[in-house]
Amino acid sequence: MESLLNFQTLITELTGLEFSNASLLDEATAAAEAMYLAHSVSGGKKKDFFVAETLFPFVKDTIRSRAYYIGINIIEGNPEDPKIFENPNLFGGIVQNPDSNGKVNDFSAFAAKLKEIKAISIVAQDIMSLLLVKSPGEMGFDIAVGSAQRFGVPMMNGGPHAGFMATKDEFKRKIPGRVIGVSRDKHGKRALRLSLQTREQHIRRDKATSNICTAQALLANMSAFYAIFHGKSGLFDISSRINLLAFNLQNELEKIGYRFVNNPTEIFDTVTINAEESGVSAEEIVYYFEQNGINLRKIDSNSVGVTINETTNLADLEELLNHFSNLKCCKQSFDISKLNWVNNEILNLSMNKNLRRNNFKDILNQDIFNKYSSESQILRYLYHLQLKDISLCNSMISLGSCTMKLNATSELVKI
């Protein structure tokens, strides 16, 4: 429980919202549950829900499927369209940041306009970007959702990965999933407990926000330990490095004739190429890189996305640049060691200051994110937690409904 409490602390700190659960199934499920929560807050009377056209496709599909069965009408469009906020039947809306095209946005105006019409604002946020960009709390959002995969969880054939949801404090009785609460035992000592389980609000189950029962507790633990081990400064370095690699990739590609959908100071980790203006078709780019063992994302018929992650290194960047050069027949060989890619000047220029987080000094200052920075320290901490665990070796408490069907030992004896 302690590691899940650390996960909740991590999410609330990064999102700038007061309350978080201890993981959901994945990002798409969390987004759909956020829509349910917003619908519940409205009393179920309003039926229209706005979905930004730049939301990730898999998130949009999940939201549509879940909305259909309870009669919610999905309205898809541009979050900057003023007509959205003239709809008296709108109970909420969701945007993606960075969006599906890789652009980092300041959605403060979007959240404020929804608040004016008493609708709930939701953002699906990249967790790693939150070390650099404005938090949902800073922008005025009511709910933030996302995936914790980028914090130390392998891809594992695509997932699922621990989803998260953070909300304003006023929605704490409606948040789905599980919440680890801090209490006191009869001796006055600090104690942790599952303080809320929305699907098990037995007395008022007809009013429960959700019936979801699947979370990713083990993967949430992995993400929490990743944050604990790297600490505040380490996480910032990882996030900054991702941003700098993407920024330099776009700048270097521009020199050899590629054109882009976004300004380099408005991206976090994704370079989106405008294929038509670059003189190469999207299909040709994707096919060429597939032949060389690299997967790029074909966003639409004219856009191809190249995303940098926490595992990308300078050799990878050099390989990408050389392939893009060969594709354009530039015959220019890149030597990344000659590129002065990391210095304070570039760090200050790599992202628009209006998109940057303003309160980094105030977050992740808890001891847990600043004291276990070596392998031996983190292993001692893991062992400390393991000693607290109640297992079947010394208790029957850990048997839940799913494990009560075990055979008695006597029944296993061969007659």
Locate the domains of the chain by residue range. 2-227, 240-362
The stretch 127-137 carries a mean pLDDT of 96
Mean pLDDT of the chain: 88
pLDDT at residue 202 is higher than 50: no
The CATH number of domain 240-362 is 1.20.1280.290: no
What is 2-227's CATH topology?
Aspartate Aminotransferase; domain 2 (3.40.640)
Identical topology for domains 2-227 and 240-362: no
User: Each residue of 256-270: pLDDT tens digit?
Assistant: 999 999 999 999 999
**DSSP labels, 4-36:** HHHHHHHHHHHHT-SEE-S-BS-HHHHHHHHHH
- Of 131-140, 212-221, 298-307, 312-321, the range with the lowest mean pLDDT is 212-221
Q: What is the pLDDT of residue 412?
A: 59
Residue-level pLDDT at 341: 58
Contact 91, 42 (CB under 8 A): yes
Does this model's pTM top 0.85? My answer is yes
Q: At 348, list the tokens.
A: 């200050």
Quote the percentage of the chain above a pLDDT of 90: 65
Tokens of 132: 């650099």
